[in-house]
C-alpha cells in the first residue's frame, strides 16, 4: 500500500468512486479508510442504479413500500441513508482534516441539469435529508448549473461540481464558487465551513479525441489529450489562488475549491491501468477512483512526485498541436458534456424503473 500512502504524502486525497449498503454494512468502507488511504466517497446515478440492484436493499424497499412511497421518494430516502451512514464512518477523518476530507457526495437528479431553480431546490432538500455536515451536494457544471452552484454555496452548503470537461467551463465554475463565497460572506456565514471540489472528467476525453485522431490518421497523438487537459485545469486552479478577489476571501477563512480528477479508470486496455492517477499528482488535488483502479494503484502504482506542474508548458503545447492536427477540442468537450448528462439521465430512468418494480413486488 506504499504507493497509496505516497500519493497521500504528495498532497493527493484518494476518494472512492462507489458506495453501496453492502460496502457500509460489511465494514469494507471502514477497511478501505484504514488500509487503503481512502479519504472520501463520490456517487452518481449510475453507481446507485447498480447498487440498488443488490439484495441488501430488500428491507429498505419493503419499508418504503409500506409507507406508500413513490420511486423517486424511495430513491431519495434510501440513497440519503447510505450517504448519511458513510458520512458517519468518515466523521473522525472529517474532524481530523478540519473538513477538507471525510466527504461523501450525493447528486441532484440528472434531469435537472438544465434547470437552475429545480437544482437549487433539490440541493437544499438533499442537504436536509442527509443531515450531515460532511455531505457534498453534486451539481453538474452545465450553463444552468453555474448559477445554482453560486446559490447553494451562498447558503453555506458544500458543493461537488461535476461533469467538467473544458478549462473554459472550469474558469466559469471557479467564478461561480467565488461569487457564492462572496454571497455567503455578505450573509455573515462562516466561510471556513464551506468546501468545494471541481470534478474534471479525464478518461472520456481520450476516448473521444483518440477516435477523431484515428480518423485523421494522427494516432501518434493518441492517449495524451486527457492528461494535457487535466494538467491545464490544475494550472487554472493555481491561478485562481492569486489576486485581490481570492485574497479578500482567504482572509475571511475561505477554502480553496480543490480540483478533483474523476473518470480515472482507463477505458483503453492498452494503456497502463494507473495512468490517470500516477500522471496526475500535485498538492491540493483529489482523485476519485473506481475500486479496480484503487487496487491497481495499491498493487503496482508508482508515485514519482509532482507530475502536473513540471508538465504544464508541454500540456499547453500539446493542445496547440492537437488543434493543428484538426481536432476541434471545443466540439469534443461540448459533446462530452451533452453525452454525460444523457448517460446519467438514462441511469436515473433505469434506477426509477427498477425501484418502481421492486416497490410493486414488495406491496
DSSP alpha helix (H) spans, the chain: 2-9, 21-25, 28-35, 45-51, 58-66, 71-89, 91-96, 116-130, 145-154, 167-186, 203-216, 225-240, 244-251, 275-278, 291-300, 312-325, 329-362
Quick one: CA dihedral 336, 48, 17, 83, positive or negative? positive
Q: Looking at 5, 67, 138, 302, which residue is catalytic?
A: 138
Residue 55: pLDDT over 90:
no
Q: Is 27 left (phi over 0), alpha (psi -120 to 50) or beta?
A: left
- Domain containing 103 equals 2-362
Q: What is the pLDDT of residue 1?
A: 47
- Per-residue pLDDT of 192-221, as tens digits, reads 999 999 999 999 999 999 999 999 999 999
Known catalytic residue: 251? no
The total domain count for the chain is 1
- Per-residue pLDDT of 158-193, as tens digits, reads 999 999 999 999 999 999 999 999 999 999 999 999
First to last CA, the chain: 47
Q: What is the CATH number of the domain that holds 251?
A: 3.20.20.70
Calculate the average pLDDT of the chain.
96
- 330, three cell numbers: 471545443
Q: What is the pLDDT of residue 45?
A: 81
Q: What is the pLDDT of residue 54?
A: 72
For 134, the 3-state DSSP assignment is: coil
Is this structure's pTM higher than 0.85?
Answer: yes
- Per-residue pLDDT of 291-312, as tens digits, reads 999 999 999 999 999 999 999 9
* Lowest mean pLDDT, pick from 39-48, 228-237, 311-320: 39-48
Amino acid at each position: 500500500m506504499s504507493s497509496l500512502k505516497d500519493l497521500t504524502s504528495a498532497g493527493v486525497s484518494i476518494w472512492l468512486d462507489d458506495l453501496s449498503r453492502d460496502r457500509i454494512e460489511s465494514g469494507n468502507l471502514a477497511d478501505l479508510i484504514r488500509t487503503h488511504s481512502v479519504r472520501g466517497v463520490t456517487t452518481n446515478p449510475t453507481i446507485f442504479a447498480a447498487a440498488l440492484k443488490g439484495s441488501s436493499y430488500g428491507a429498505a424497499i419493503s419499508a418504503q413500500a409500506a409507507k406508500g412511497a413513490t420511486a423517486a421518494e424511495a430513491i431519495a430516502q434510501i440513497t440519503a441513508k447510505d450517504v448519511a451512514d458513510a458520512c458517519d464512518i468518515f466523521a473522525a477523518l472529517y474532524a481530523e482534516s478540519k473538513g477538507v476530507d471525510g466527504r461523501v457526495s450525493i447528486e441532484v437528479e440528472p434531469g435537472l441539469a438544465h434547470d437552475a431553480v429545480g437544482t437549487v431546490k433539490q440541493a437544499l432538500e438533499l442537504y436536509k435529508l442527509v443531515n450531515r455536515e460532511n455531505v457534498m451536494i453534486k451539481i453538474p457544471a452545465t450553463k444552468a448549473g453555474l448559477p445554482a452552484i453560486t446559490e447553494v454555496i451562498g447558503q453555506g452548503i458544500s458543493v461537488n461540481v461535476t461533469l467538467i470537461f473544458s478549462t473554459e467551463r472550469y474558469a466559469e465554475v471557479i467564478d461561480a464558487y467565488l461569487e457564492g463565497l462572496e454571497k455567503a460572506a455578505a450573509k455573515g456565514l462562516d466561510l471556513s465551513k464551506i468546501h468545494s471540489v471541481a470534478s474534471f472528467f479525464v478518461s472520456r476525453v481520450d476516448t473521444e479525441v483518440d477516435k477523431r485522431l484515428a480518423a485523421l490518421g494522427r494516432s501518434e497523438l493518441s492517449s495524451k489529450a486527457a492528461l494535457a487537459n487535466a494538467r491545464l485545469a490544475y494550472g487554472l486552479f493555481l491561478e485562481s489562488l492569486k489576486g485581490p478577489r481570492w485574497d479578500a476571501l482567504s482572509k475571511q477563512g475561505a477554502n480553496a475549491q480543490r480540483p478533483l480528477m474523476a473518470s480515472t479508470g482507463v477505458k483503453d486496455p492498452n494503456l497502463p491501468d494507473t495512468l490517470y492517477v500516477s500522471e496526475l499528482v500535485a498538492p491540493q488535488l483529489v482523485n476519485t477512483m473506481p475500486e479496480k483502479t484503487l487496487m491497481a494503484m495499491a498493487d503496482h502504482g508508482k508515485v514519482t512526485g509532482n507530475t502536473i506542474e513540471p508538465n504544464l508548458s508541454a500540456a499547453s503545447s500539446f493542445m496547440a498541436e492537437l488543434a493543428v492536427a484538426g481536432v476541434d477540442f471545443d466540439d469534443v468537450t461540448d459533446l462530452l458534456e451533452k453525452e454525460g448528462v444523457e448517460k446519467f439521465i438514462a441511469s436515473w430512468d433505469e434506477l426509477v424503473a427498477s425501484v418502481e418494480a421492486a416497490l410493486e413486488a414488495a406491496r
